Amino acid sequence: DAGVIQSPRHEVTEMGQEVTLRCKPISGHNSLFWYRQTMMRGLELLIYFNNNVPIDDSGMPEDRFSAKMPNASFSTLKIQPSEPRDSAVYFCASSFLAGPTDTQYFGPGTRLTVL
Amino acid sequence: SQQGEEDPQALSIQEGENATMNCSYKTSINNLQWYRQNSGRGLVHLILIRSNEREKHSGRLRVTLDTSKKSSSLLITASRAADTASYFCATDASNTDKLIFGTGTRLQVFP
């Protein structure tokens, strides 16, 4: 299994531009999580999906952030418009939930720099 | 606020020594997990301990859980330079599928 795949691995953009991060979860997993990691705030859960349905988006910082999961094998996190404070590493993780919270498998992350 | 807080924030040891990291959390849990993050990489699951377990081993890793004190410890025995990484505990928020990660312990193992 290739594991969780994220693209791009690095993204440098200018303030005001739209940024789209992509994630392919592990085949067969039914839950997908988007996290943001910064030195100041650590690892924050932004949103998670179960069976392609958004369950909890309370961690999404503001309306500039949106996430979709059109099918079981693909998800996007979009920032529009981007701001310098959005600079961070964004991780996607997936898991197979059959009961209480179980192991999550993380992708390599996308390092976003907004100038 | 963070559910889990690791202690210490940073730890430096020599190869061969044991490394102990602690995690405290605030609310009741179903399970607690430990993850490792190498620099520039994603988190990797190490071990999961359920709330009805007190101790668990996996290779050189030993995890304990004390639900009465709401704390857990991760012991790495006979450390190696390759163990250099950040280590995070993660707990499940009650009645949700979310994992709440702690602030992490940065471990440096010198050859």
pLDDT by residue for chain A (115 residues), tens only, comes to: 689 999 999 999 999 999 999 999 999 999 999 999 998 888 999 999 999 999 889 999 889 999 999 999 999 999 999 999 999 999 999 998 765 567 899 999 999 999 9
> Which residues in chain A are contacts of B43 at CB distance < 8 A?
43, 91, 93, 104, 106
What letters, b where the CB count within 10 A reaches 16 and e where it falls short, cover A14-34?
Answer: eeeeebebbbbbbeebebbbb
**B46 and B58 Cβ atoms separated by less than 8 Å:** yes
**Minimal CA separation from A82 to chain B, in Å:** 22
> Mind telling me how many Å the CA of A76 is from chain B's nearest CA?
18
Structure confidence by residue, pLDDT tens digits, A97-109? 765 567 899 999 9
B chain contacts of residue A100, beta-carbon cutoff 8 Å = 30-31, 92
Q: What are A93's strand-pairing partners?
A: A33, A106
For CA atoms B58, B64, B67, B70, give the dihedral sign: negative
The pLDDT value recorded for residue A49 is: 92
The Cα B5–Cα B104 span in angstroms is 7
User: What's the confidence (pLDDT) of residue B5?
Assistant: 80
Distance of alpha carbon A51 from alpha carbon A31, whole angstroms? 6
- Taking the C-alpha atoms of residue B26 and residue B57, their distance in angstroms, rounded to an integer, is 24
Query: Closest by alpha carbon to B102, among A18, A94, A76, A45?
Result: A45
CB B71 within 8 Å of CB B7: no
Chain A CB within 8 Å of residue B57 CB: no
**CB of A110 within 8 Å of any CB in chain B?**
no
Q: In the 8-state DSSP scheme, what is residue A99?
A: S
- B-proximal residues of A, 25-44, CB under 8 Å: 31, 33, 42-43
Would you call B41 an interface residue with chain A, using a CB distance cutoff of 8 Å? yes
Taking only the tens place, the pLDDT of each residue in B23-58 is: 999 888 888 999 999 998 999 999 999 999 999 999
Nearest in space to B21 (alpha carbons), one of B6, B3, B38: B6
Let me know: does B92 contact B29? Beta carbons within 8 Å.
Answer: yes
Structure confidence by residue, pLDDT tens digits, A53-73: 998 899 998 899 999 999 999
**Contact residues, chain A, for B3 at CB < 8 Å:** none
| Contact flag A100-B88 (C-beta cutoff 8 Å) | no
CA A82, CA A90: separation in Å to the nearest integer?
14
d(CA B61, CA B75): 6
- As given in the structure block, the two tokens for residue A85 are 């404070």
How far apart are the C-alpha atoms of A76 and A97, rounded to whole Å? 21
